[in-house]
Amino acid sequence: MIRVAIIGASGYTGAESIKIILGHSEAKVTYLTALPEECGKVEEVFPQFKGRCDMPIEPLDLGKLSDVADVALCCLPHKVSMGFVPKLLDAGVKVIDFSADYRLKNAAIYEKYYGTKHTDAANLKKAAFGLPELFREQIKGKNLIANPGCFPTGMLLATAPLLKEGLIETDLIIDNAVTGASGAGKNPSAKFHFPNMNENIFAYGIGTHRHTPEMEQIAGEIAGPLWAGKDVRILFQPHVGAFDRGILSSVYCQPKGKVSSEQLLKLYNDFYADEPFVQICKNSPAVKDVAGTNYCHIFPTFVKGMIVSFSAIDNLVKGAAGQAIQNMNIIFGLEETLGLK
């Protein structure tokens, strides 16, 4: 039985992680931590767990954690996580990190987008990017997994077959995506206050969103030698809408040659044929169809000379906690779908 600690258990992704592990046949939650002001019985912090989990959420004690856990799901904010990850690794605990602190291999790019010096650059090269459908072999046996961002997960799965086969131009890929309000996290703000969010949708992070370099880095890795020496440029524009959870991505690509919608469907069906959590659709996907699941629904098509690939995921599951459990299953040699179907 895998012993799981959740650091930052009082947030949305922490709660989602608890929920998934409660249904996992080969893993159990052994330690929950949060900031002191957010501690208490888990059923009091999240009433959904009343009668299901009576564990306390405690202030972090690294010594105790290393005694009772094999792996830590680190649900801490960007910039904070890298202060704890090296200590966890030194204590012999595997780490699946939800923040962006280990996704970008270039520390200078991280510092540009996150506005702070990276204090654990030594572990950047040791971390595997935790998108199993594309990097499963690199994930196996790793001690540190950088869980992908929610927007990059949707965008990369929507375009991977095109990038891998060299079918599209990479000087400009446009990703127009809409997320639910839970993407902003648990702490309230004026912008995400109910009277502002209700019956509303708006763009944010215009030209500056931190997921852009993550998308460009991984898209370049997927394209590989086909685009050696060339940068992949992505124009990413996120929006937030008046729904709780989910991301719908619409990704626009310029094809290098002639292609039909039928050929695209065959390409995607073949590419993801053995992937349990990717489903290829014959129409545009909807966030309600994947809510609460670890699935990604994709629909590629050809419109007015452009390839448009739509994807839908749950930002809290495939975009965070579910993907983390999928990664956990892989690094411990378990059936990849355990706890997720």
Which residues are annotated as catalytic?
150
Could you tell me the two tokens for 333?
Answer: 């040699």
Give ∠ CA 247-253-254 in degrees, rounded to 5. Answer: 170
At which residue do the structure tokens 């969103």 appear? 209
Could you tell me the two tokens for 146?
Answer: 């950088």
CB atoms within 10 A of CB 141: 12
CA dihedral angle for residue 163, residue 165, residue 171, residue 177, rounded to 10 degrees: -30
The residue type of 182 is S
- H-run or E-run covering 89: helix 85-90
Which of the 8 DSSP states describes residue 55? P
Between CA 102 and CA 98 the distance in angstroms is: 9
Could you tell me the two tokens for 181?
Answer: 């309000």
Which of the 8 DSSP states describes residue 247? E
With CA atoms as reference, report the closest residue to 277 among 215, 214, 336: 336
CB atoms within 10 A of CB 253: 22
Q: Please enumerate in sequence order all residues whose Cβ is within 8 A of that of 68, keeping only pairs 6 or more positions apart, or say none.
A: 3, 5, 30, 31
Contact (Cβ atoms closer than 8 angstroms) between residue 293 and residue 158: no
Contact (Cβ atoms closer than 8 angstroms) between residue 2 and residue 28: yes
